[in-house]
A and B are shown apart, each in its own frame.
Chain A
Amino acid sequence: MAKSLAAEFTKGLWKEIPPFRLVLGLCPTLGVTTSMKNGIGMGLATTFVLVCANILISALRKVIPGKVRIACFIIIIATFVIIVELTMQAFAYTLYLDLGVFIPLIVVNCIVLGRAEAFASKNSIIPSAADGLGIGLGFTLALASLGAVRELLGTGGLKGDVFGMLPYDISNIFGASYEPFAFAVQAPGAFIALGLMLCLMNLIPSK
């Protein structure tokens, strides 16, 4: 382990930030980012699964037989997804309804399985947790920013909260005469907004 813990953590925030640098996990990225609130909720749910699955997989990496490792990873991930699903049904039901099918879909999110295969199955517990947390927060950041752009263009303001805490409400950021650009919050807007954000990321050179 030449790289320090901090490096494992911060690489997820910029150098390998999904879905911009690593083009993985596009379905939730496109599907839930109609508002910043949904983006943050989805990002945090994925982060939880990512960190827990990374820790458990890394702890069991010497026990899991190589040939059936993918199946084992999927079962471990599915377990944590069910935990998230049930917790959200109990404590954040409206958010659960908004995110709909995308919560069970964390199971097949390529980011989670990708980190398990590429990192957690080869490293010890603490770096794996740092890696999961970094990638997860990077993903949350990406979803939140894409959600914020679409919500700002589509409704002219930002409104919501994070799991019932930290409420925020900014309206009429472009002035009262702004005509909401409904295209941005609908399906085609998702593809185009993400495409243009990727283009912006490409303009900034990466080290």
Chain B
Amino acid sequence: MEYFELIVATIFVNNILLAQFLGNCPFLGTSKKMETAIGMAMAVIFVLVLAGVITWIVYAWLLVPYKLEFLRTIAFILVIASLVQFVEMFLKKSIPALYAGLGIFLPLITTNCAVFGVCVLNIDKEFTFMQSLVASFGYAAGFGLALILFAGVRERTLLARVPKALRDTSIALVTAGVISLSFYAFRGMV
């Protein structure tokens, strides 16, 4: 039950993109086409769950015992960068089909602040191992859901006749605001 609440909270109530504002660069960058949006969403779910678990282990078993908590930022970014690199090599070798799908999105993830942000949030909220695993999955699924919904709307705004000054990023942000407003309604749930 506790984990169910956490999942609902992370997917809907505290949606990483629309309520916490993390990972907005890929949100606007990869949402012009449904295909790229799905690819990016899958890559983020895959890496974010791994990164959330590994950074938790690094923090609890390596940084805390040696009193190195102040190195958190540098340690996490290194873990994420090398993890992305490793995942890329592993997929290329053993699951080429998946690599072909996720390939181009993987390098972008190193600088995706959603991944880094969730790892930091897990530590800041003092989650246990299981909680951070569930929370990482929930945040990642929320990212995917918001990105895919947004891509669907955005494909239509590309065809619509938008005033010149509002074109492109500007109308995309206003659209994101409206989607964010609809997610805002989940706020009373948890």
Contacts and interface: CB of A to CB of B under 8 A. Distances in A.
Interface residues of A, number: 40
Contacts of A110: 25, 111
A27 B176 CA distance: 13
Nearest to A105: B113
Given A104-B120, A107-B116, A23 B169 contact: yes
B166 A199 contact: yes
Interface stretch (B65-73, B93-101, B131-139): B65-73
B22 A27 contact: yes
A192 interface: yes
Contacts, number: 115
Given A101-B121, A105-B120, A196 B174 contact: yes
B16 to A, nearest CB: 10
Given A27-B24, A75-B74, A202-B170, A108 B116 contact: yes
Given A31-B21, A101-B120, A187 B184 contact: yes
B90 to A, nearest CB: 19
Contacts of B172: 195
A192 B177 contact: yes
Interface in A4-32: 23-27, 30-31
Interface of B: 18-25, 28, 70-74, 77-78, 81, 110-113, 116-117, 120-121, 124, 164-167, 169-174, 176-178, 180-181, 184
